[in-house]
C-alpha cells in the first residue's frame, strides 16, 4: 500500500526543523549505507547521534503518535528513530530495496522493516528533480509532496530518489515494524477502518457500525503480532 499522509508537521514545526537542519553538520550518506546502498547512494545525512537529529526525531514521533491516519495505516509496533537527509547538486539515491532488518540505536534490539516512510521538509518548488520513485505491481510512482506531508510504502518496494538538479531537498526518513506483517492485510484493515470512520461520521445505523467495528477488531486480533 502506497499512501500519502498530509499535515504531519505544522508550518511552525517545519520552519523550526529547517532552521535546525540549515545549521547542522552533514556527513556523507555512505556513513550509514550497507553494501547495496553504497553502490548507488550519493547524498548527505545527519548523524543519528547529533542533538538536533534526536530532538527533531522526537518531535516527529510525538506528532505521529497523535496522527490517526498514520496509526490506522501503519498499525505500528516499533518506529525507527527518524533520520534526515539532504540532496543537492546532482545528488541522488539509485534503485534499491531497504534492508529487511535494522538495529535500533543504543538498544541492541532489531526491528523488521515492514513500511518505509519519507517526510518531506522542502516544498516541491524549492528544488528540481528529487522525486521519490516507487515501483509496485502497477508501475512506477513518482512522489514529491509538500513540506510536512509524508508518504508510506512497503519496504519490499524497489525505489530511488532521482538527481536533484537545482535547489536542495530536505527530508526525514524512517521505518516501521507493523503489528501486521503482511501488506495486503494492512491495506484491508486500513480500508475497513476508514469505512468505519466515514460511516460513524455520517450517522449510519449504530448496530451496523458496531458489527463492522467488531469484524475489524477480530481481524486485527487474528493477524496482529505485537512486540
Q: What is the pLDDT of residues 153-198, one digit of tens each?
A: 999 999 999 999 999 999 999 999 999 999 999 999 999 999 999 9
* 145 shares a domain with 215: no
101 and 141: one domain? yes
Distance in angstroms (rounded) separating the CA atoms of residues 227 and 223:
13
Does the pLDDT of residue 29 top 90, yes or no?
Answer: no
pLDDT of residue 35: 58
Instruction: Give just the sign of the alpha carbon dihedral 47, 52, 58, 59.
Output: negative
CATH number of domain containing 138: 2.60.120.620
Statement to judge: residues 100 and 172 lie in one domain = yes
108 and 199 inside one domain: no
Distance CA 84, CA 82 (A): 7
User: Quick check: 227 pLDDT over 90?
Assistant: no
**Pair 147, 118 in one domain:** yes
User: Do 188 and 147 lie in a common domain?
Assistant: no
Both 167 and 84 in one domain: the answer is: yes
Residues 112, 188, single domain; the answer is no
Tell me: do 195 and 139 sit in the same domain.
no
125 and 78 in a common domain: yes
The boundaries of the domain holding residue 126 are 3-178
For residue 226, the model assigns a pLDDT of 77
User: pTM value?
Assistant: 0.94
Q: In percent, how much of the chain has pLDDT > 70?
A: 96
| Same domain membership, residue 165 and residue 217 | no
Structural domain tally of the chain? Answer: 2
φ, ψ at 107 (rounded to 5°): -120, -25
Contact (Cβ atoms closer than 8 angstroms) between residue 25 and residue 31? no
Confidence of residue 199 (pLDDT cuts 50, 70, 90): very high
Amino acid at each position: 500500500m502506497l499512501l500519502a499522509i498530509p499535515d504531519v508537521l505544522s508550518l511552525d514545526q517545519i520552519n523550526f526543523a529547517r532552521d535546525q537542519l540549515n545549521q547542522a553538520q552533514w556527513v556523507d550518506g555512505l556513513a550509514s549505507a550497507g553494501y547495496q546502498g553504497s553502490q548507488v547512494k550519493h547524498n548527505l545525512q545527519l548523524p543519528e547521534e547529533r542533538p538536533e537529529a534526536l530532538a527533531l526525531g522526537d518531535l516527529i514521533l510525538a506528532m505521529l503518535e497523535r496522527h490517526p491516519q498514520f496509526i490506522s495505516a501503519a498499525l505500528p509496533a516499533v518506529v525507527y528513530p527518524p533520520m534526515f537527509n539532504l540532496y543537492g547538486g546532482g545528488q541522488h539515491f539509485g534503485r534499491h530495496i531497504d534492508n529487511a532488518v535494522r538495529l535500533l540505536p543504543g538498544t541492541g534490539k532489531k526491528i523488521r522493516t515492514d513500511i518505509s516512510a519519507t517526510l518531506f521538509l522542502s516544498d516541491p518548488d524549492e528544488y528540481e528533480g528529487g522525486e521519490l520513485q516507487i515501483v509496485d505491481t502497477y508501475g512506477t510512482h513518482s512522489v514529491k509532496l509538500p513540506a510536512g506531508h509524508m508518504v508510506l510504502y512497503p519496504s519490499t518496494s524497489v525505489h530511488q530518489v532521482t538527481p536533484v538538479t537545482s535547489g536542495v531537498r530536505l527530508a526525514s526518513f524512517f521505518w516501521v515494524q507493523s503489528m501486521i506483517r503482511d501488506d495486503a492485510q494492512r491495506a484491508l484493515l486500513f480500508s475497513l477502518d476508514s469505512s468505519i470512520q466515514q460511516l460513524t461520521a455520517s450517522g449510519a445505523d449504530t448496530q451496523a457500525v458496531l458489527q463492522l467495528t467488531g469484524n475489524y477488531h477480530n481481524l486485527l486480533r487474528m493477524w496482529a503480532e505485537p512486540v
